[in-house]
Amino acid sequence: MTTTCRIVVLISGSGSNLQAIIDAIDTKQIPAEIVAVISNKAEAYGLQRAASANIATQVLPYAGFTDRQEYDQALMACINQYQPDLIILAGFMRILSNELVHHYPGRMLNIHPSLLPKYKGLNTHQRVLEAGEKEHGATVHFVTPELDSGPIILQGKIPILKTDNEQQLTQHIHKLEHQIYPQAVMWFAQGRLHLSGNTVLLDQHPITPQQQIYTQSITGQLSNN
Ligand code: GRF
C-alpha cells in the first residue's frame, strides 16, 4: 500500500482490541490511520477510547430500522463516508448481511475468541471450559458472509491451566488478541496481506501454518516456532 491505510473500526463494547490497534499505530508499528470508529451502542466504552485518540466516532443504533437490510444500508453509507481501505470488526456484536460483506471483498477483518473452526458463535470461553479442552485461543480472519467462517489469517494459542475459570481465561485470551490483531492489521497496512478466492496470501504466497499459528507459553512468551 503506497498511501497510509485508512481504517474504519466497528465496535459494540469495551474496545480493548481497538485500543491495541490505536497503540500500535501511535508507536508506528502499523502504517495506518483510523479514520472512524462506529458503534451500534451509544454506551460502548470504545467510543471514549476513540475520542481520547482524536478519532471521529459515530453511533448507529439498530432501533428505528425495520430489518437487517435497512440497517446495513445505513451502516454501509456511514462506513463509505470515510473511504476506508480496511474495515475492522472489533467486538461488533451484529451479524452482517451478505450484501454488506460483499461490498468489501478482502477488506474486512474480524477477531474471534476461539481456535476456529472450533467454537464459532457466542460464549466461547465457557464452552471451551465445559468441554475440558487443553488449549484455547483467538483467530483473526477475513470476513465472509458465513459467521466466523472466513479464511484464517492468524491464530494465537494458549494452554488452559487447571486453575483457569471463565474470567481468567477471558483475560488471557484478550491479552493474546491484543498481540495478534495488530500483527494482522500491520500486514494488511503494509500491503503484504491479500485474499485471493479463499486463500490468504502473505507476501504473494499462501500463508503457511508457521506464519499463522502463535503459541503462548506459560510465561506469556508468544512464538511461532
Ligand atoms: C473480543 O474477545 C473479540 O474476540 C470478540 O469480541 C471481544 C471484543 O473485546 N469478537 P473488546 O471490545 O475489543 O475489548
H helical segments located in the chain: 16-26, 45-52, 68-80, 98-103, 124-130, 166-189, 209-212
Residues of the chain with CATH 3.40.50.170: 1-104, 111-140+149-225
CA-wise closest residue to 81 among 47, 35, 46, 31: 35
What is the predicted pLDDT for the residue at 151? Answer: 98
Q: In testing the pocket of ligand 1, which one of 11, 14, 17, 49 has its CB within 8 Å of the most ligand atoms? A: 17
CB 189 within 8 A of CB 5: yes
Q: How many residues does the chain have?
A: 225
Q: In testing the pocket of ligand 1, which one of 10, 114, 177 has its CB within 8 Å of the most ligand atoms? A: 177
In CATH, which of 3.30.1360.30, 3.40.50.970, 2.40.10.10, 3.40.50.170 is domain 111-140+149-225?
3.40.50.170
C-alpha cell at 51: 475520542
Instruction: Please give all residues whose beta carbon lies within 6 A of any atom in ligand 1, as ranges.
Output: 11, 13-18, 46, 90-91, 111-113, 138, 177
Q: Which segments of the chain have a pLDDT < 70?
A: 1-2, 218, 225
Cα-Cα-Cα-Cα dihedral sign, residues 125, 164, 17, 224: negative
CA 138 to ligand 1 centroid distance, Å: 10
10 Å CB burial of residue 124 (0-12, 13-18, 19+) is buried
Distance separating alpha carbons of residues 3 and 78, to the nearest angstrom: 22
What is the predicted pLDDT for the residue at 83? Answer: 98
What is the predicted pLDDT for the residue at 216? Answer: 80
Verdict on whether the full-model pTM lies above 0.75: yes
What is the predicted pLDDT for the residue at 2? Answer: 57
CA 89 to ligand 1 centroid distance, Å: 9
What is the predicted pLDDT for the residue at 225? Answer: 61
Distance separating alpha carbons of residues 74 and 61, to the nearest angstrom: 10
Q: What is 1-104's CATH superfamily?
A: Formyl transferase, N-terminal domain (3.40.50.170)
CA 78 to ligand 1 centroid distance, Å: 22
What is the predicted pLDDT for the residue at 222? Answer: 81
CB 61 within 8 A of CB 42: yes
In degrees rounded to 5, what are phi and psi of residue 136? -150, 175
Distance separating alpha carbons of residues 175 and 177, to the nearest angstrom: 5
What is the predicted pLDDT for the residue at 3? Answer: 79
Q: Which atom of ligand 1 is nearest to the CA of 170?
A: 2
